[in-house]
Amino acid sequence: MQTIYRFSAPGRTEISGNHTDHQHGCVLAAAVNMQTTAEVTLRDDDCIRVASEGYAPVEIRLDDLSIHEDEKNTTAARAYRRDRARRGRRLPAARLRAARL
């Protein structure tokens, strides 16, 4: 039987300073009564499949770490894998299903 990993993160809204935290700036944030959930299962191949509520499914071959123009603003999985590979770490293949509650 395949192990299913489940994750959740509380929702938040940024009242002021949206995206400034990416550059170590300050953000005024507040909690909201929503959450994001993810269900992950590992795979035997070198592929990540992402199914996210409201979006078309995305499949990323992890044996190809090149930049794909058509993936910009869609997923960071390939870039994350490339970064981990540079550090000598491996991102396992997985199937991910995400939803907002």
pLDDT tens sequence across 6-16: 999 888 888 88
Residue 98 has φ and ψ, to the nearest 5°, of: -120, 150
Question: What pTM was computed for the model?
Answer: 0.58
The 10s digit of each residue's pLDDT in 56-88 is 887 877 777 777 777 666 666 666 667 777 777
- Which amino acid, residue 43? R
- Which amino acid, residue 91? L
What does the alpha-carbon distance between residue 48 and residue 39 come to, in Å, rounded to a whole number?
13
DSSP lists the bridge partners of residue 32 as none
